Amino acid sequence: MEYRESNLKVQKQLISAKNILFIQDIDGVCIPLVKDPMTRKLDSKYIYAVKALAEEFYVLTCGEHEGPRGVNRIIEKSLKSTIEPKTKELYLRGLAACGVEYQENNGDISFEGVSKKELDFLSKVPSLIRPKFNLIVKNIFPQLNQEDINFHAAKSICKTRFSPTINFNSLFDLANLDSNKRKIIQISFEKMMNEIILKAESEGLRNSFFLHISPNLGKRNDSEIIKLSTNNDIGSTDIQLLIKGAVKDSGVLFLLNKFIEDKTGKAPFGSNFNFRKSPKSIKEKIDLCKKNIQIGEMPLIVGVGDTVTSKKNNDEKIYLRGGSDRSFLEFIQILGNEFGTNNKIIFVDSSFGEVERPSIKKTGLLGISDLDDNLKFDMIFENGPKEYISWFIELAKKRSNFKKK
């Protein structure tokens, strides 16, 4: 009950706030998590609610807008049209591929900061993965024939333009409830993806790529820590090859720059700012904002995500904290403190989909957060994307009416 009361209270504050900006993840937030990304569904009412919020809403996702697996295809399926989303500007505006692929709501896409050489290498990655996939899968599941391996390869190797990915869910189904086999899958493919980075380096792309592991346990030596499977937590489900600098907290800077430029006509970080020009550390990002953004220009930012992790490392008696949404949510929270804007952090429990995750209803915040965690949630949707969507649709309608007054 306390969550629901808090959710209604925050909704009320946001409806009448002077200047708000939603920065929202997609999978697990407004789309329930599924094992096969090609079966994802999006409520058409949610798409129209986003449209009602207009310039006050952006997405920030590690998925992609375009391509056969892109969110744009899900929108077209939901609206039963490939024309209407463009003409009525119903595509989701914002950043994909963790901060590389920007899209306007009419579907126009740009990706500043990426070189042709990097794009050419990325396009080769699925064909580099394929023979290695065969060897790894044959080793773990010797009983599989080639036809079965081909079936799982089609589901597991994601041929995305900016973020070629290996997804484990199809292979996890084969492992059934054997967490040791799931661990072998995770470790084998992490090694394989690191070999692809070495291949890029041998082709003159030394500082071009990194591995984004989802969910992860934070970073060690600048590399994301894989979350190995246990009996009650599936752990990391995919590994993406991403362009260096494509992290969600840098995406927040890009979107903030665009939002303020739309409002005032002046981009605080310059009109050609992109993820490659972003400072690296959170402190440097905060300093950039304080130097270039006036307090009156800073909106109340609402950060919405579902992938946040916290796991006690018994050897060192410390918590490993990560998750692909953590960095951008923490950044938004700190920005709110620095600028006095009372930013809101929303957590959506995505354990309701087909992918096993820690569940708030079953074990509270265990595996998600801890008492010493700096990241605090202002709102929690313990009933998952469905509950968040209905709250969001109501907010968008009331906010739209408020702005008309």
Residue 72 is part of a domain; what is its CATH number?
A: 3.40.50.1000
Give the chain's mean pLDDT. Answer: 95
The DSSP-derived string for 100-113 is TEEE-TTS-EE-TT
pLDDT, greater one: 83 or 317? 83
How many domains in the chain? 2
Give how far Cα 274 sits from Cα of 104, 248, 252, Å: 15, 12, 11
Residue 162, domain member (yes or no): yes
Enumerate residues 6+ apart whose C-beta is below 8 A from 3: 379, 380, 381, 382
> What is the rounded CA–CA span in Å between residue 263 and residue 248?
22
Residue ending a domain, choose from 221, 243, 265: 243
> What is the rounded CA–CA span in Å between residue 53 and residue 1?
28
Residue ending a domain, choose from 220, 243, 266: 243
- Are residues 234 and 250 both part of a single domain? no
Mean pLDDT of all residues in 190-204: 98
- Are residues 302 and 276 both part of a single domain? yes
Domain that holds residue 232: 116-207+209-243
Tell me the per-residue pLDDT of 231-272, one tens digit each, with 9 for 90 and over. 888 999 999 999 999 999 999 999 999 999 999 999 999 999
Mean pLDDT of all residues in 161-180: 94
- Are residues 251 and 349 both part of a single domain? yes
| Position 2 pLDDT exceeds 90 | no
Residue 111, domain member (yes or no): no
- CB-based burial label for 366 (10 Å; 0-12, 13-18, 19+): middle
Tell me the per-residue pLDDT of 109-137, one tens digit each, with 9 for 90 and over. 999 999 999 999 999 999 999 999 999 99
> What is the rounded CA–CA span in Å between residue 248 and residue 306?
13
- Are residues 385 and 261 both part of a single domain? yes
- Are residues 30 and 176 both part of a single domain? no
- Are residues 125 and 173 both part of a single domain? yes
Q: How many residues does the chain have?
A: 405
| Position 1 pLDDT exceeds 60 | no
pLDDT at res. 314: 73
- Are residues 266 and 399 both part of a single domain? yes
- Are residues 286 and 397 both part of a single domain? yes
> What is the rounded CA–CA span in Å between residue 21 and residue 302?
6
Q: Are 139 and 185 in contact (CB under 8 A)?
A: no
How much is the pTM?
A: 0.94
Tokens at 93, concatenated: 């505006």
